[in-house]
Amino acid sequence: MTAPDPLTLPRLPRNAEGPVFAEPWQAQAFALALQLYAQGCFAWTEWAEALSRRLTAAGPDDDGARYYEHWLATLEDLVTAKQLAAGAELAARKEAWADAYRRTAHGRPVEL
Amino acid sequence: MALRVKALESLMVEKGLVDPAALDAIVDHFEHKVGPRNGARVVAKAWSDPAYKARLMEDATSAIAELGYAGGQGDHMVVVENTPTVHNLVVCTLCSCYPWPVLGLPPVWYKSAPYRSRAVIDPRGVIGEFGVKLPDEVEVRVWDSTAEIRYLVLPERPAGREGLSEDELAALVTRNGMIGTARL
């Protein structure tokens, strides 16, 4: 029996040319950046410059597979630089979600 | 990664900066409504309608908006036309600026460091790796996208395809053809 082709599995987001987001968090991170931009939290040129710094730091061998990791890091950079949230606040919230996942029974909605 | 996004999202929602419903709408839009088919319709219309093509070359942002595809990041669209003597290639050397409304989200290779650097240094070689052998007499022009200007390549209309409808023409247009890593 051959392994299922992930591209043919249902509910994986894709368009005519293939998957759009590989994992749900990537779509959320993408949408967050657009929404914060739409709210006037930063200019799109600021976004491009910040993302460019992250991509440059990733080095010449970066093959694009970790693109949304850089995207998310850029988002955190800008959110902290613009003082929309502090770094410590983000870290604490991340731990709170991790705890919530650990204590929530399988199949139940995860809540803080 | 998922937890970091969740942390960020929940904080932004609490601070009133982000509406969860708006996030869902954005994701739905990019997953289901945009993609290279939009760009293909622009190209097919330009091939079939000389007046539209003239407007497209003059003011691409407005001409593309005529078909209902509008940008969201305040960027301007510029269309560059392939001819028998000129081939255009689009890159974003700094990050990954890309004309989302007409092409959807960029493919992985477009976002890779090797493409971003080599497309400028050795465009002919890069195009060759996509299996396109450009004749020596064809000039290659490289367009570096920015947060303000996004480029779309208008490929040459394939020869011997007279009498096709716009829909049939659109089916001939590929994403890579509109980035410049393919010839149609």
Chain segment B144-153, per-residue pLDDT in tens? 998 889 999 9
- Domains: count for chain A: 1
- Domains: count for chain B: 2
For residue range B98-116, list pLDDT tens digits in order: 898 899 888 888 988 899 9
Closest CA to B116 of A62, A51, A66: A62
Let me know if residue B184 belongs to a domain.
no
| Distance between CA atoms of residues B139 and A69, nearest Å | 37
Note the residue count of chain A: 112
Give the domain extent around A69.
Answer: 22-103
Q: Are residues B1 and B68 in the same domain?
A: no
Q: Are residues B80 and B156 in the same domain?
A: yes
Structure tokens at A82: 């613009």
Which residues in A lie closer than 8 A to residue B4 (C-beta atoms)? 72, 76, 90, 94
Of the pLDDT bands very low, low, confident and very high (cuts 50, 70, 90), residue B160 is: confident
Q: Are residues B20 and B52 in the same domain?
A: no
Let me know if residue B94 belongs to a domain.
yes
Query: At B178, is the secondary structure helix, strand, or coil?
Result: helix
Let me know if residue B123 belongs to a domain.
yes
Give the domain extent around B26.
Answer: 1-33
CATH number assigned to the domain comprising residue B53? 3.90.330.10
Q: Do B11 and A89 touch (CB under 8 A)?
A: yes
| Secondary structure of A77-111 in HEC code, one letter for each residue | HHHHHCCCCCHHHHHHHHHHHHHHHHHCCCCCCCC
Across A38-58, average pLDDT: 92
Q: Are residues B61 and B97 in the same domain?
A: yes
Q: Are residues B112 and B150 in the same domain?
A: yes
User: Does residue A29 carry a pLDDT above 50?
Assistant: yes
User: How much is the ipTM here?
Assistant: 0.79
User: Does residue A16 carry a pLDDT above 60?
Assistant: no
Let me know if residue A17 belongs to a domain.
no
Across A74-89, average pLDDT: 94
Catalytic residues of B: 92, 95-97
Given B15, B23, B95, which is nearest A31 (Cβ)? B23
Which residues in A lie closer than 8 A to residue B36 (C-beta atoms)? 15-17
Let me know if residue A9 belongs to a domain.
no
User: What percent of chain B clears pLDDT 70, i.e. is strictly above it?
Assistant: 98
